[in-house]
């Protein structure tokens, strides 16, 4: 088994992997993905706040209506001439007035609490909009930075891929197939030497039967990490 050819191939492929990782692990990419979520969350949040504000306004208007009715009732009582009232009518009027005043004071308290709630919704709305705008700006700038990097890196990857492809015909097809499979599963390096009777990838010690097999066949698949182990 000619292991050297696949090792050369792996060495060149490593240059591709480094570039691919540069893109995958790009900080700009991470940030713009994060910002995309922040923007989405902010949109959902402001929709919810809008709904909440709508509900509050509806309730506020209901209370306002009740309040206006009480004020009107109060006005009617005030307009009555106490002298023209009989004793029981007067008592009735006084008790009604007290009730109305109590209702009004209760409604005023409700108004205050509603005003507070509305203010807090507005404040939250404001801060949500602010973070939405910031996230959008950050998203745009980091996306642009990532795209600039990708525009530079992708052609380099493509060029290296074409070069490495030229090596494929001279490689044992069985090795190449195993290599490509593991590459897809993000295992790298794929071909590793045996080091101190252990897998050079995962460092798992090899039993003597496996070492014999390695000696016999010239390569061995690690049962632990699936890398292909070769004799140095």
The residue among 51 and 203 lying less far from Zn ion, judged by its C-beta, is: 203
Tell me: does residue 228 bind Zn ion (CB under 5 A).
no
CB 63 within 8 A of CB 114: yes
The answer to whether 230 and 3 have CB atoms below 8 angstroms apart is yes
- Report which of 152, 136, 185 is spatially closest to residue 23, judged by C-alpha positions: 152
Q: Does 224 bind Zn ion (CB under 5 A)?
A: yes
**Nearest to Zn ion of 5, 224 (CB atom):** 224
Regarding 200 and contact with Zn ion (CB under 5 A), the answer is no
* Residue 147 or 205 with smaller CB distance to Zn ion: 205
- Interaction between residue 190 and Zn ion (CB under 5 A): no
- Residue 189 touches Zn ion, criterion: CB under 5 A: no
Shorter beta-carbon distance to Zn ion: residue 107 or 214: 214
**How far from 83 is each of 92, 208, 225, CA to CA, in Å?**
14, 118, 103
Task: Pull the structure tokens for residue 124.
Answer: 């939250």
Task: Report yes or no: 32 and 147 within 8 Å, Cβ to Cβ.
Answer: no
Which pairing describes strands 228-230 and 191-195: parallel, antiparallel, or unpaired? parallel
Alpha helices in 166-197 (DSSP H): 173-184
User: Applying CB under 5 A, what is the total number of residues that bind Zn ion?
Assistant: 7
| Binding flag, residue 202, Zn ion (CB under 5 A) | yes
| Strands of the sheet with 191-195, listed across from one edge | 198-199, 191-195, 228-230, 219-221
Rule CB under 5 A: is residue 201 a binding residue for Zn ion? yes
Which range, of 67-75, 122-130, 146-154, 218-226, touches Zn ion by CB under 5 A? 218-226
Instruction: Note whether 222 binds Zn ion by CB under 5 A.
Output: yes
Return residues touching Zn ion (CB under 5 A): 199, 201-202, 222, 224-225, 227
């Amino acid at each position: 088994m000619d292991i050297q050819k696949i090792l050369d191939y792996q060495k060149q492929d490593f240059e591709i992997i480094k570039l691919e990782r540069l893109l995958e692990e790009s900080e700009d990419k991470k940030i713009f993905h994060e910002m995309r979520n922040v923007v989405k969350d902010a949109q959902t949040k402001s929709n919810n706040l809008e709904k909440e504000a709508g509900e509050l306004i509806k309730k506020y208007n209901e209370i306002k209506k009740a309040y206006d009715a009480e004020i009107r009732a109060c006005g009617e009582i005030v307009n009555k001439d106490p002298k023209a009232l009989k004793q029981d009518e007067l008592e009735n009027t006084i008790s009604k007035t007290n009730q109305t005043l109590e209702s009004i004071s209760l409604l005023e308290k409700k108004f205050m609490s509603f005003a507070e709630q509305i203010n807090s919704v507005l404040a939250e709305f404001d801060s949500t909009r602010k973070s939405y705008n910031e996230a959008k700006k950050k998203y745009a700038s980091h996306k642009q930075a990532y795209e600039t990097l990708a525009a530079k890196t992708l052609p380099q990857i493509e060029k290296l891929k074409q070069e490495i492809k030229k090596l494929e015909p001279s490689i044992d097809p069985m090795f190449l197939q195993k290599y490509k499979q593991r590459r897809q599963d993000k295992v790298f390096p794929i071909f590793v030497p045996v080091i101190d009777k252990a897998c050079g990838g995962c460092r798992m010690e090899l039993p003597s039967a496996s070492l014999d097999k390695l000696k016999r066949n010239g390569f061995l698949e690690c049962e632990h990490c699936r890398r292909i182990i070769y004799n140095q």
